[in-house]
């Protein structure tokens, strides 16, 4: 209850039916015969101070009407049987956010130039305070994100959560998977050491084996017939400007649909039978259920 | 005002004779489009033009390298006397300028051999780029073969594929002699019969129908004639 007073009324968790005190509160005391004692100035100031953050939130809420959206999103119903597998999507989101944050700080030290890229990475790893840690988080975090994306996809598939009406969310998820792979591929070249150079050569050449358009796509990725200086800046721009923007936009659409459509129950949880319902087998045998006549 | 009058007023309003309605509704006589619709179309068209003015140059800027062919580049790799016809000599030269060591590539150079019906005054420069996926192959003197360390591609003395996943013979570089020096020029690919075609990326077949499935790119140089 103490905590509840810190949350603006519109943001409070709505009471369950039968638990609230209804529209009218308890009857007011007889104010004439027993007027309430005036609280001390200190107490009133403290009360105001405690309420200040509430007032600020209320001020924002009055101008944005965000509380309706937030309560709808935060207190939405989830089906019975929701379990730890349902956290894989959030885990992927957290992995992406970690990549975004570490990436922004890596970009402050990284130089996307063929002659300085490797030196700038060594500088990050060997001289910048905690540089090796931030770079390591970004490097290993990328693998974590790819793995989580696939686990999340597997959960969705095996729980049948891609079915009507959630097909579009599956499609958006597949696009997000492709974009994640694009991030992993373009990010691999950036250190510009032997491993990343030759891995990118091989990757671009695999891409070029697509008939008819493959060779042109390779030229587009390399910005020319051979992997060169413009390839690195091109990959850098794709890696930190083009794809992250697309990913953020699509994550927004993905989450909107999750909230809008709700999540699915695991396949082993079934809807409860209404009381007094006749089993389907008996209906087929001609029995009457709930007063309805079975189709003949 | 009582409810009664309200009702009567409403009845009067309904009873009032209507203005002649244009056909179709909302259009003046002789018009094919309402004013509102004309403005909607015009503003949307203007928005489209403004959007295209921003997007098209940006897309063109990003796609332009596909159609750009760089300057033809020749580099001397050693005097004519350095090369023999029965084995290769490894040379390193710059294929892409501006990216330091990463722009260098390796070629194996020998003189033309009568054994393979080649002009003995010509020079053959075989690229060390494996045509499977672009790993660097090396010439193994004892076997007389080119061998790729990545996925086990094997090529014979002329660069023809004899094993592993590669899809065509090794690429070659154009050669010429200037001032007693052998010079290497643009890269070109060859068919399985060693006929020169425009340079292809690794993994792409050459010759026959493959010339259409993997079309030559505008960024590559024409192959040497003959």
Structural domain ending residue among the three candidates B22, B37, B65: B65
| Per-domain residue ranges of chain A | 87-261
Mean pLDDT for chain B? Answer: 87
Cβ–Cβ gap B203/A204 under 8 Å:
no
Task: Please give the average per-residue pLDDT across B186-204, as a whole number.
Answer: 93
| Structure confidence at residue A21 (pLDDT) | 58
The nearest CA of chain B is from the CA of A247 a distance in Å of: 20
Same structural domain for residues B22 and B49?
A: yes
pLDDT digits (tens, 9 = 90+) for A136-191: 999 999 999 999 999 999 999 999 999 999 999 999 999 999 999 999 999 999 99
Question: Whose structure tokens read 């061998």?
Answer: B147
Neighbours of A64 (CB within 10 A): 11
Same structural domain for residues B98 and B144?
A: yes
Same structural domain for residues B29 and B134?
A: no
Q: How far is CA A278 from the centre of its chain?
A: 43
Residues 79-118 of B with CB under 8 A from A: 95-96, 98-100, 102-103
Give the nearest chain B residue to A223 (CA atoms): B65
Report the largest interatomic distance among the alpha carbons of chain A, rounded to a whole angstrom: 95
Whether A286 shows a pLDDT value over 50: the answer reads yes
Same structural domain for residues B55 and B80?
A: no
Predicted model pTM: 0.75
Decide: B177 and B80 in contact? Cβ < 8 Å. yes
Cβ–Cβ gap A219/B102 under 8 Å:
no
Q: Which of B98, B103, B213 sits opposite A212 (nearest CB)?
A: B213
Decide: A216 and A204 in contact? Cβ < 8 Å. no
Mean pLDDT for chain A? Answer: 87
* A206, A212, A215, best to mutate vs chain B, most B CBs in 10 Å: A215
Same structural domain for residues B123 and B182?
A: yes
Same structural domain for residues B59 and B80?
A: no
Whether A198 shows a pLDDT value over 50: the answer reads yes
Same structural domain for residues B93 and B191?
A: yes
* B1 shares contact with chain A (CB less than 8 Å): no
Angle CA A39–A41–A42, to nearest 5: 100
Reported confidence tier of residue A250, pLDDT bands at 50, 70, 90: very high
In the three-class reduction of DSSP (H, G, I as helix; E, B as strand; rest coil), residue B214 is classed as: coil
Q: How far apart are CA A208 and CA B129, in angstroms?
A: 15
Q: How far apart are CA A47 and CA A56, in angstroms?
A: 15
Angle CA B160–B217–B60, to nearest 5: 155
Does B219 reside within a domain? Answer: no
In sequence order, what are the residues at sequence separation of 6 or more whose Cβ sits closer than 8 angstroms to the Cβ of residue A6?
A50, A53, A54
Chain A residues touching residue B213 (CB < 8 angstroms)? 211-212
Backbone angles phi, psi at A131, to 5 degrees: -60, -40
Reported confidence tier of residue A121, pLDDT bands at 50, 70, 90: very high
Q: Which of B66, B133, B216 sits opposite A205 (nearest CB)?
A: B133
Reported confidence tier of residue A276, pLDDT bands at 50, 70, 90: confident
Structure tokens at B207: 């010759």
User: In this structure, what CATH number is given to the domain that contains residue B114?
Assistant: 2.102.10.10
Neighbours of B23 (CB within 10 A): 8
Same structural domain for residues B97 and B169?
A: yes
Domain span at B88:
75-213
Decide: B203 and B165 in contact? Cβ < 8 Å. no
Give the nearest chain B residue to A224 (CA atoms): B65
Whether B80 shows a pLDDT value over 50: the answer reads yes
| Structure confidence at residue B47 (pLDDT) | 97
Same structural domain for residues B92 and B37?
A: no
| Structure confidence at residue A27 (pLDDT) | 60
Reported confidence tier of residue A296, pLDDT bands at 50, 70, 90: very low
Same structural domain for residues B94 and B40?
A: no
Rounded percentage of chain B residues whose pLDDT exceeds 70? 86
Cβ–Cβ gap B214/A202 under 8 Å:
no
Which range is least confidently modeled, A207-216, A271-280, B45-54? A271-280
Domain count, chain B: 2
Whether B207 shows a pLDDT value over 60: the answer reads yes
Whether A227 shows a pLDDT value over 60: the answer reads yes
The nearest CA of chain A is from the CA of B88 a distance in Å of: 25
Structural domain ending residue among the three candidates B65, B93, B109: B65
Which range is least confidently modeled, A3-12, A17-26, A158-167, A172-181? A17-26
Does B149 reside within a domain? Answer: yes
How does DSSP assign A64-82, residue by residue? H-HHHHHHHHHT----TT-
Whether B113 shows a pLDDT value over 80: the answer reads yes
CATH superfamily for domain A87-261: Cytochrome Bc1 Complex; Chain C (1.20.810.10)
| Structure confidence at residue B95 (pLDDT) | 87
| Structure confidence at residue B140 (pLDDT) | 94
pLDDT digits (tens, 9 = 90+) for A255-264: 999 999 999 9
Same structural domain for residues B126 and B149?
A: yes
* A210 shares contact with chain B (CB less than 8 Å): no
Cβ–Cβ gap A226/B68 under 8 Å:
no
Q: How far apart are CA B119 and CA A148, in angstroms?
A: 60
Q: Which of B65, B98, B202 sits opposite A219 (nearest CB)?
A: B65
Rounded percentage of chain A residues whose pLDDT exceeds 70? 85
Reported confidence tier of residue A294, pLDDT bands at 50, 70, 90: very low
Chain B residues touching residue A205 (CB < 8 angstroms)? 133-134, 201-203
More reliable by pLDDT, B226 or B159: B159
Chain B residues touching residue A220 (CB < 8 angstroms)? 62-63, 65-66
Same structural domain for residues B54 and B145?
A: no
The nearest CA of chain B is from the CA of A233 a distance in Å of: 12
Residue among A227, A42, A60 nearest B219 (CA): A227
| Structure confidence at residue A223 (pLDDT) | 87
Does B55 reside within a domain? Answer: yes
Q: Which of A192, A215, A226 sits opposite B95 (nearest CB)?
A: A226
* B142 shares contact with chain A (CB less than 8 Å): no
């Amino acid at each position: 209850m103490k905590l509840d007073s810190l949350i603006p009324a519109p943001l409070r968790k709505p009471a369950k039916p039968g638990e609230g005190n209804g529209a009218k509160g308890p009857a007011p005391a007889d104010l004439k015969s027993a007027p309430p004692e005036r609280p001390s100035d200190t107490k009133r100031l403290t009360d105001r101070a405690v309420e200040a953050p509430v007032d600020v939130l209320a001020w924002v809420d009055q101008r944005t009407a965000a509380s309706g959206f937030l309560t709808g999103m935060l207190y939405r119903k989830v089906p019975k049987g929701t379990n730890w597998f349902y956290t894989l999507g959030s885990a992927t989101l957290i992995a992406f956010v970690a990549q975004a944050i570490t990436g922004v700080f890596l970009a402050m030290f990284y130089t996307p130039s063929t002659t300085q890229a490797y030196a700038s990475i060594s500088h990050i790893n060997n001289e910048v305070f905690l540089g090796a840690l931030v770079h390591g988080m970004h490097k290993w975090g990328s693998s974590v994100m790819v793995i989580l994306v696939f686990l999340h996809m597997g959960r969705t598939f095996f729980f049948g959560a891609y079915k009507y009406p959630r097909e579009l969310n599956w499609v958006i998820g597949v696009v997000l998977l492709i974009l994640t792979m694009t991030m992993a591929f373009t990010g691999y070249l950036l250190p510009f050491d032997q491993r990343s150079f030759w891995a990118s050569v091989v990757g671009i050449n695999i891409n070029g084996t697509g008939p008819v358009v493959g060779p042109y796509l390779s030229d587009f990725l390399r910005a020319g017939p051979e992997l060169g200086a413009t390839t690195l800046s091109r990959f850098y721009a794709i890696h930190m400007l083009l794809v992250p923007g697309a990913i953020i936009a699509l994550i927004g659409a993905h989450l909107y649909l999750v909230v809008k459509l709700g999540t699915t129950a695991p396949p082993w949880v079934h809807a409860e039978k209404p009381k007094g319902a006749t089993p389907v087998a008996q209906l087929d045998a001609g029995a009457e259920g709930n007063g309805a006549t079975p189709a003949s | 005002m009582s409810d009664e009058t309200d009702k009567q007023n409403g009845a009067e309003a309904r009873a009032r004779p209507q203005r002649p309605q244009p056909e179709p509704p909302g259009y003046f006589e002789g018009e094919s489009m309402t004013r509102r619709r004309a403005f909607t179309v015009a503003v949307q068209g203007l928005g489209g033009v403004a959007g295209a003015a921003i997007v098209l140059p940006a897309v063109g800027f990003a796609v332009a390298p596909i159609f750009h062919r760089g300057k033809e580049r020749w580099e001397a790799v050693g005097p004519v006397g350095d090369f023999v016809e029965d084995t290769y000599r490894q040379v390193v030269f710059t294929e892409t300028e501006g990216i330091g060591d990463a722009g260098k590539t390796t070629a194996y150079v020998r003189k033309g051999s009568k054994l393979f019906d080649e002009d003995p005054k010509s020079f053959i420069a075989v690229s060390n780029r494996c045509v499977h996926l672009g790993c660097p192959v090396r010439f193994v003197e004892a076997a007389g073969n080119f061998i790729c360390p990545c996925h086990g591609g094997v090529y014979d003395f002329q660069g023809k594929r004899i094993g592993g996943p590669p899809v065509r013979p090794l690429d070659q570089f154009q050669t010429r002699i200037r001032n007693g020096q052998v010079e290497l020029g643009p890269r070109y690919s060859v068919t399985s019969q060693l006929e020169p075609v425009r340079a292809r990326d690794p993994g792409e077949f050459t010759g026959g129908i493959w010339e259409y499935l993997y079309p030559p790119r505008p960024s590559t140089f024409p192959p040497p004639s003959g």
